[in-house]
Structure 1
Amino acid sequence: MEQLVRHHLGSDLSSARRDAAAFLDNIAGEDEYEGGDRQNWFARWKQIGDDHHVLGDLNLKVGAFAEAAEAWLCALTAFEIAKRLVNETDPQSEDVSAKVDGGIQRFRSPHLQKLEQVKIPCSEQADLPAYYLRAGSRDLPSSAVICISMEQETGATLLGRLLPVMTGRRMSALVVSHGDVSHGSRGQAETLLSHCLDYLAVRPDVDATRIGVYGEGLSAALATEFAASDDRLAAAVCDGGLWHWARIVASVAWMTRNTDRAVDHDVMSSRRKRILRRLRCPVLVVAGGRGIVNVSEALKLQADCMAACIDLELAIPRIISCPGREIENFVIADDCVFGWLEQKLARSTAPQPMSPRKRDQ
C-alpha cells in the first residue's frame, strides 16, 4: 500500500487517477485501514492534494496555464480520496470540502476561461444556480451533459469530482444540485431541467442535438422523469424507472395487505418495459453502490430490454468492502459513465427542436 500513495508532483493527471484507482482497489482487507492507520492514509492523500494545489499556483504565476490546470485536477482527485477515508460527520471532511471549493474556484481563472457560475432563467421561480464547464467553441460546438448531484450533496461537491474525468472528453457540463431542482410540486423538476436544456441548446459552443442528462442517487429518478418528458435528450444516465416502479409495488402491497411474495413475472416485466418505452434515447442504469437501484432488479430490467430491443445498458460500480463501511472506486465508475456518455452523444443525430416537446404521460 505504501507505494500506492507515494506521489510525484511531476506526474500527469492520468497517472494520478491510475494511482487513486489502484489505492482504492487495494485498500480492501487491509488491517491498517482501521484506527490510526486510516487517519494516516487520510492525512497523506490530503497532503498530496495540498502539494498539487501549491504546484498549480506556482505554475499559474509563471504563465504555465495547462500545467497549473493539470496540477489542480490532480489535487481534486486526491481530495476525493481523502473524503472517502473519513465519515461525512467528521470535521476533517468539512475541511477537505472547503479545499475542493477552493480548487473549483481556481478553474474560474481568466487565464483558463473554462468554468462559469451561471443562472438559468426560470419563469416559475428565481433563476436556477449552476456551474457550466465549457469544452466547445463557436467554431466547434461540443456535446453537453446536465449533471444533477445526489441528495444532500451540493453541485460544487459533484463538480469537484467530475472536473478531472471531464477533462479531454470534448463534452461540456452543466452541474446543478439535487436540492435546487427537486423541491416543489410533481413535475416541477422536469420543468426546471428543461430550462437547463433550453439554456444549453442556445449556447453557440454546444451542439443542441447532443445533450444528455446524468443523475446520481435520487437524482437518477429525476433524470428518468426528465428523459421521459423531453424529446430533445440524446442520452440518459438514470434509474430506468426502477425507483418509481419500486414505490408502486410497495404501495400496492401496503394497500392490499398482500404478504404473498409470489408474483406474475410476465406482468412485472411488461410494466417495467412500459416505463422504459417512454425513454426514446439510449439509457445507462448504474446499479449498486451509493445509488438507489438494486442490482438484481436492474439485471431483470436489462434482460427485459434486451428481449424487447430497447437500448439500455447496465453499469455496476466496483465497491470495496472495508471494516465497517464500503467505498466505491469512483475513478473507474466515473470513467465508465462518462465514457458511455461521450460515445452515445458522439453518435447522436437527433433533430434540433426549438422548444421542449412534452410526451403524453
Structure 2
Amino acid sequence: MDFGAWPPLRGDLASTRRCASAFFDNLPSDEGRAGTVRQNWVATWTKTGDAYYRLADLNINKLAFDEAKEAWLCALTAFEVARRLVADDDAGKAGVSAKVEAGVQRFGTALGYQVESVEITCFDGAELQAYYLPAASTGLSAPAVICVSSEEEKGATLLGRLLPVVIGRGMSVLVVSHADVLNHSRGRPAALLSHCFDYLSARPEVDISRIGVYGDALSATLATDFAVYDRRVAAAVCDGGILNWVRTSTSVGWITGIADGPAKDWISACRSRSARQLNCPILVVAGGRGVVSVSEAVKLQADCMAAYIHLDLAMPQIIRGGFGEEVENFVTADDCVFRWLKNKLTRARAP
C-alpha cells in the first residue's frame, strides 16, 4: 500500500477516520527504512491536518457550518495520527500537540459549539481546570461522561482526540487532566472527581442518573477508585481494581509461585472482590500502553464470570511499527469505548 499518497482530502469525517484506522492496521514492520518513512508519515498527516483547517475556514467564510465542522474534526483526527507517530523524545511532538490544543480552542469559537473552559471548585476553594462540551440541545437531559486524560497528556489534548468521537453521540463530556486531578486532590482524587460529578449534576442538560467515567491509561485506576467511592456513577471505563490488586499481591511474598489449591482460590476471590465493589457496568481496556495487561484482564474477567459479576473487556488493536514501538489504533479503540458508554448510559435512563 502506498502510504505516501494518503490521506485524500475529502472533508468527510467518516472517510477520514476509516482512512486513519486502515493506515494503522497496515503499518509495515520494515526496520531498515523506519526512520525516514516515519518522518514522512508525520509530515503527511500534519500537512493534512493543516489543509483540513484551511478547508474549515473556507467553509466558515461561505457560511457552510456543517461542512466546516466536518473539516475541523477531520483535522483533529489527522493531527492525532501524527501525534501517535512522533517519537516521545522528538521535539516535534510538542508542536503537533499544540496544533491539537489550538484546534480545540478555535473549534468552539468558529462553529458555535460550546466548548467551555470551566473551573470546578474543590478543596478549600481551589479551582480545577476542565473542558466541557454539552450534548446537542434536544430539550431532554442527556448522559455525560467524566474523562480523565492519561498521565502524559493535557486535558485539551484528550479533548481534541475525543471531539470527533463524541459529537453526534448525544452525550456531554467533561475532560480533566490526570496531573491536575492529582495536584488538586490532596491525596483524595476520588473525592475530587466527585466534585466533577456535582458540577455535571448542576447542568440542566445532564441526566444525573446517567453520568459515567472514563479513565485513559493510568487514569483507569483513578476511574475505578472514583466509581467505588461515588455510588452515583452509572458506568465506568476503568481497570477493575487490577493495578491495586497487582500491587497488593506483589507485596505478599508467600503468594509468589503458588498456583494451586486454596491459595489459587483465594487469589481469584480477591480479584473478583475488587470488581464487586463497583456498583455499575464495567469496561476494562487491556493491552498496549495502558495500565492493564491482557493476561491480568482475562484472569479478572474469568474470576468475575465465576462470581456472576458482569465485566466487559476490550483489547484495542496494537501495531508494532518498523520503528520498534507499539502504536494503538486509537480510532477503533475510542469508537469501542464510547459505543459501550452510550449503550450502558442509555440503559441507565431513569424510569
Range class of TM-score, shorter chain:
over 0.9
Percent of matched pairs sharing the same residue = 57
* Greater Cα shift, 90-99 or 14-23: 90-99
1:40-79, aligned counterparts within 5 Å?
Answer: 40-79=40-79
1:129-208, aligned counterparts within 5 Å?
Answer: 129-137=129-137, 139-183=139-183, 188-208=188-208
Query: Residue 107 of structure 1 aligns to a residue in which SS?
Result: helix
Compared CA separation, residues 14 and 4, structure 1 to 2 (3 A)? farther
Indicate conservation of the 8 Å contact 2:319/2:327, yes or no: yes
Compared CA separation, residues 185 and 44, structure 1 to 2 (3 A)? closer
What is aligned with 2:107? 107
Note if 1:211 corresponds to 2:250. Answer: no
Q: Which amino acid aligns with 2:148?
A: I
What is aligned with 1:278? 277
What is aligned with 2:18? 18
* CA distance, structure 2, for counterparts of residue 188 and residue 112 of structure 1: 36
* CA distance, structure 2, for counterparts of residue 341 and residue 124 of structure 1: 33
What is aligned with 1:92? 92
Unaligned runs of 5+ in 2: none
What is aligned with 2:128? 128
Cα shift readout 1:308-327 (whole Å, capped 9, x = no counterpart): 22121000110001231110
Question: Displacement of 1:139 after TM fit?
Answer: 1.4
Cα shift readout 1:320-355 (whole Å, capped 9, x = no counterpart): 01231110000010100111001000000459xxxx
Question: Displacement of 1:18 after TM fit?
Answer: 0.1
Query: Residue 170 of structure 1 aligns to a residue in which SS?
Result: coil
Cα shift readout 1:122-159 (whole Å, capped 9, x = no counterpart): 24341111000111437122110000001121111111
Q: Which amino acid aligns with 1:291?
A: G
* Greater Cα shift, 29-38 or 150-159: 29-38
Question: Displacement of 1:14 after TM fit?
Answer: 0.4
* Greater Cα shift, 215-224 or 102-111: 102-111
* CA distance, structure 1, for counterparts of residue 167 and residue 113 of structure 2: 14
Indicate conservation of the 8 Å contact 1:284/1:315, yes or no: yes
Q: Which amino acid aligns with 1:62?
A: K
Compared CA separation, residues 124 and 138, structure 1 to 2 (3 A)? farther
* CA distance, structure 1, for counterparts of residue 113 and residue 350 of structure 2: 29
The alignment yields a C-alpha RMSD, in angstroms, of 1.9
Q: Which amino acid aligns with 1:202?
A: A
Question: Displacement of 1:30 after TM fit?
Answer: 4.5
1:283-302, aligned counterparts within 5 Å?
Answer: 283-302=282-301
What is aligned with 1:354? none
Indicate conservation of the 8 Å contact 1:137/1:204, yes or no: no
Q: Which amino acid aligns with 1:283?
A: I
Query: Residue 40 of structure 2 aligns to a residue in which SS?
Result: helix
Compared CA separation, residues 139 and 350, structure 1 to 2 (3 A)? closer
What is aligned with 1:267? 266
Indicate conservation of the 8 Å contact 1:151/1:178, yes or no: yes
What is aligned with 2:340? 340
Compared CA separation, residues 140 and 213, structure 1 to 2 (3 A)? same
Indicate conservation of the 8 Å contact 1:144/1:206, yes or no: yes
Query: Residue 169 of structure 1 aligns to a residue in which SS?
Result: coil
Indicate conservation of the 8 Å contact 1:155/1:175, yes or no: yes
Question: Displacement of 1:28 after TM fit?
Answer: 3.5
Q: Which amino acid aligns with 1:128?
A: L
Q: Which amino acid aligns with 1:155?
A: G
What is aligned with 1:356? none
Structure (1/2) with the larger helix percentage: 2
Instruction: Kindly tell me the number of residue pairs found equivalent between the two proteins.
Output: 348
Question: Displacement of 1:121 after TM fit?
Answer: 1.7
Indicate conservation of the 8 Å contact 1:317/1:329, yes or no: yes
* CA distance, structure 1, for counterparts of residue 110 and residue 53 of structure 2: 17
Compared CA separation, residues 156 and 320, structure 1 to 2 (3 A)? same
Query: Residue 209 of structure 1 aligns to a residue in which SS?
Result: strand
What is aligned with 1:359? none
User: Structure 2 length as normaliser, TM-score?
Assistant: 0.94
* CA distance, structure 2, for counterparts of residue 117 and residue 88 of structure 1: 27
* CA distance, structure 2, for counterparts of residue 241 and residue 16 of structure 1: 36
Compared CA separation, residues 7 and 296, structure 1 to 2 (3 A)? closer
Cα shift readout 1:214-266 (whole Å, capped 9, x = no counterpart): 0012210010000001111110000000000011111222xx6x754446211
What is aligned with 2:233? 233
User: Structure 1 length as normaliser, TM-score?
Assistant: 0.91
Question: Displacement of 1:211 after TM fit?
Answer: 0.5
Query: Residue 292 of structure 1 aligns to a residue in which SS?
Result: coil
* CA distance, structure 2, for counterparts of residue 198 and residue 32 of structure 1: 53
Question: Displacement of 1:10 after TM fit?
Answer: 2.8
* Greater Cα shift, 147-156 or 109-118: 109-118
Query: Residue 124 of structure 2 aligns to a residue in which SS?
Result: coil
Question: Displacement of 1:193 after TM fit?
Answer: 0.3
* CA distance, structure 2, for counterparts of residue 151 and residue 7 of structure 1: 30
* CA distance, structure 2, for counterparts of residue 111 and residue 96 of structure 1: 22
Q: Which amino acid aligns with 1:72?
A: W
Q: Which amino acid aligns with 2:19?
A: D
Q: Which amino acid aligns with 1:325?
A: E
